[in-house]
Structure formats: C-alpha cells, structure tokens
Amino acid sequence: MSFAFCFDREEDIYQFAYCYPYTYTRFQHYLDSLQKRNMDYFFREQLGQSVQQRQLDLLTITSPDNLREGAEQKVVFITGRVHPGETPSSFVCQGIIDFLVSQHPIARVLREYLVFKIAPMLNPDGVYLGNYRCSLMGFDLNRHWLDPSPWAHPTLHGVKQLIVQMYNDPKTSLEFYIDIHAHSTMMNGFMYGNIFEDEERFQRQAIFPKLLCQNAEDFSYSSTSFNRDAVKAGTGRRFLGGLLDHTSYCYTLEVSFYSYIVSGTTAAVPYTEEAYMKLGRNVARTFLDYYRLNSMVEKVAIPMPRLRATEERSSGGEPPSCLRTWPEPEALGTLMTTGCEPS
C-alpha cells in the first residue's frame, strides 16, 4: 500500500499512526490529574525506572482499610503497554482505572472487597520512542518474564519482584493477573488463558471470560483460547500461570486494533477511543459478578468522595447520600474523567 499526502497547513501538526495515539506524556498528565483529586482510595507510586529513567508507575486502588497493617488482601494485578505500539491497551486500562475511582456503587463495592494493583505502562521507553513492539534496547519484554535483567529489563524486573513478594505474603491472595494487549488480525476483545492438568482448575479459569462476554458486547468468548505454546513461554500469562497456585488466574486480554462484530450481526463496528475505554469499564464491572457481590451494591450509599486525612475540605455541610441513582458503566465516560457527579 502507498499513498500521497499534501502538507497544506504549515501551522498544523500531522501525525501518522497505526491506531489512536496514547503517548507517555498523555499518560503522565492523566495520572497527575487523578492524583490532584486527593482520593483516599487512590495511591500512585514509582515502582522503578526504565533504562532511560522514565517512571514505572504503580497504582493501587482500594479502600484504605484494606491497606492497614495486618489486613488480608485479595489482589487483582493488571499490566498494560508492554508492547508500546499497542495503544488500545492504554485506552482499555484507562477505562478500568476511571471506573474503579468513580463513585459508581459497583466501583465502591469493588474497592471495599478487592485491592487493584495496576502498572499501566510497562514499556515507557518504547512508548516514548515510538517503537511498535520492543524496548529501547530492542527486547520484546513480554518474552523475558522468566529471568528479567535489572539493567536490561528494569521495569519488568520491578513488577516481577513485587508479584513474587505478594505471592510469598501469607496475608495476600493474588487472585488475578491480567496483561492487556492489542491484536493486529483478530476482531473483538478476547482472552488467552493457560492449560492445566487439573481439569477443575482449567474449567474455573473459563468463568471470568464467560462473564465478561455477558457484560461486553464486543468481547468474544468463541475467540478466547487456552494454550501452552512454547513460543509464549516467556510471557507474563504463561510464567505467572506456572508460578502462582491454583487460586490464581492469569490472562492476556487482547482487543482488536480495528473493529468488533456484535453477536448475531455481521457488520464490523470500528473501535473508537471511547469503545476501548468502555471495554475497560466492563472488565472492572465483571469482578462484581465473579465474586457474587451484586447484593452488596443495593446497600451502598453514595457520599461525596473522601479526601485524604491530610487535606481539609473546602466546603462545609453534610455530603449527600442516595441509592442506585447512578448510570450504568457505559454512560460514565465523561463523568469519570472529570470526577463530577450526575445531577
């Protein structure tokens, strides 16, 4: 394929992209905006640095009660953008984060019950440099989980150390690991899982993608597959699937660069930035179904977001409280990025 393009406006900036761009700078601005909201259930820390000294950000989203010393934790660990050219990964990840920090009743229940650890950009050098698949030094980081080097693969090394540390903590149950990617030939969203000799464990592994298929019209369970291909041995899903015990489930979540087909139709619907983020919101929502927490949502009152203990409220009065007046996750796009509440 070839094309001709006329740069006819000198004052404009032109970009040619394989998919919607999601830059390292945009990512940092996004995290900065979340941090400024001073939510007491959102924590941002620097887990490490890349070869070129860019931040490896780790987010923790949970109720502060779950982080007190000695508290038992059920952890969901999510990573994204290990392949820097797969920008849909960042939009899906932002959808997950936006939903989890919102005041939606489902999000509030999930924060009470689970601890979400999210490393949204595992390959910040590759993202900054515009690489499609590799790091600054030319490595496909998603083939080096078995033995990551602290100098050649420092971001991977830092995340793996943290996961192993959590796995060895008797107070921590690492329930899920989900690595988010984009696929260049398949349609829809779908998952890769592992194959186990234990048939019951293998069957249990299929539950989450089946539930996600019910919540997200663009997710395809028929395209979801479980394998132990040798070429995938160094991936996060395969390595952690072998390391963690039978109570943990490891997946690669893939989403098409292009389009999805809704079940029962034949027309391909092009993905948009908002559609990718909607898939992320539905991924987060599915944890409610998986843990059977639906009955708890009915009991949730909705106060104004709490500030950290060190911050003073700028306005007086009692926070309003209501029940079940919130829109469904797919309607929360602008609401969650601004931190506003519906009228």
**Could you give the C-alpha distances from 139 to 87, 197, 280, in angstroms and in order?**
18, 32, 27
3-state secondary structure of 183: strand
Phi and psi at residue 342, in whole multiples of 5°?
A: -70, 155
- Cα 60 to Cα 118: distance, rounded to the nearest angstrom: 6
| Partner residues linked to 57 by β-bridges | 46
Closest CA to 329 of 106, 175, 148: 106
Measured from the Cβ of residue 235, the count of other Cβ atoms closer than 10 Å reads: 24
Q: Which residues of 205-230 are buried (b: 16+ CB within 10 A; e: fewer)?
A: beebbebbbebbbbbbbebbeeeeee
Whole-number Å distance between alpha carbons of 42 and 101: 7
Is 254 one of the catalytic residues? yes
CB atoms within 10 A of CB 38: 13
CB 199 within 8 A of CB 265: no
CA neighbor of 205 nearest in space, from 194, 215, 214: 194
Catalytic residue among 86, 254, 273, 330: 254
Nearest to 254 by CA among 328, 176, 181: 181
Cβ distance 297 to 110 under 8 Å?
no
Check: CB of residue 132 under 8 Å from CB of residue 122. Answer: no
Active site members: 254
